[in-house]
Amino acid sequence: MVKIDSLSVLIKTILQSPSPTDINKIKTELQSKLGNININTNGKGLKLLDTNEIDLYQRKMKNMLANLSIGKESIMASPTIKKDMETFLNDLTKVGSVGGKSTKELGIQFSELSTNVRKSAYEMSQLHKDTDSFFTTFTKDMWKLAIWVAAAKIVFFPFQKLKENIIFI
């Protein structure tokens, strides 16, 4: 029976893993041979990103951002959302380049931006529900007045008729 020492396996794995200089050599060699392929070494290992894939991903994310902003122009104009959006678009242009964010990181960043926009939209809708315009308040008050007039007629009309029918001697 063979006993595997996990510490020795870990040490062998570390010693056999490529150094950053080896990774850069492989990266430059692949780029020279493949032409329009960008190599992303931000994550675990190497990931080849074709420039067409990068363009499609950027178009997809810009389309999702446009969909998110439909009907929320005033929210998108707020300083915090605008800043987050500019940061996201700036990071989106750097996808696939050295030092740029990975697509997973950008997906998380978009998700956070989307959450902030939805949260702001909800807060704005609650603010609008809690406050009435002059016309809305006036309309509500006129309905209340009409209800009170009708109630007064119902209650006091019989007394008025009774008073008219009583003959004083």
In a domain, 78, yes or no: yes
Q: Read off the pTM.
A: 0.50
In a domain, 15, yes or no: no
Answer with the residue of higher pLDDT: 79 or 165.
Answer: 79
Burial of 1 (0-12, 13-18, 19+ CB in 10 A): exposed
Residues in the chain: 169
Here the tokens at position 57 are 């991903």
In a domain, 42, yes or no: yes
Q: How confident is the model at residue 146 (pLDDT cuts 50, 70, 90)?
A: very high
Distance (Å) of CA 33 to CA 30, 38, 47, 95? 5, 11, 15, 21
Q: Distance between CA 63 and CA 18 in Å, rounded?
A: 39
Is 153 within 8 Å of 111 (Cβ atoms)? Answer: no
- pLDDT at res. 144: 94
In a domain, 140, yes or no: no
Is 34 within 8 Å of 80 (Cβ atoms)? Answer: no
Here the tokens at position 38 are 């960008």
Q: Which residues pair with 38 in a beta bridge?
A: 49
In a domain, 141, yes or no: no
Highest mean pLDDT among 6-15, 45-54, 81-90 belongs to 81-90
In a domain, 29, yes or no: no
The predicted-structure confidence for 90-145, as pLDDT tens digits, reads as follows 888 888 776 677 788 888 999 999 999 889 888 888 877 767 778 888 888 999 99
- pLDDT at res. 148: 94
In a domain, 9, yes or no: no
Is 95 within 8 Å of 106 (Cβ atoms)? Answer: yes
Q: Distance between CA 90 and CA 22 in Å, rounded?
A: 30
- Does the structure show a pLDDT above 70 at 18? no
Distance (Å) of CA 160 to CA 50, 153, 165? 90, 10, 9
Q: State which residues form the domain around 53.
A: 34-133
Number of domains in the chain: 1
For residue 72, what are the contacts with CB-CB under 8 A and spacing of at least 6?
117, 120, 121
- Does the structure show a pLDDT above 70 at 37? no
In a domain, 53, yes or no: yes
- Average pLDDT in the 8-17 region? 66
Average pLDDT, the chain: 78
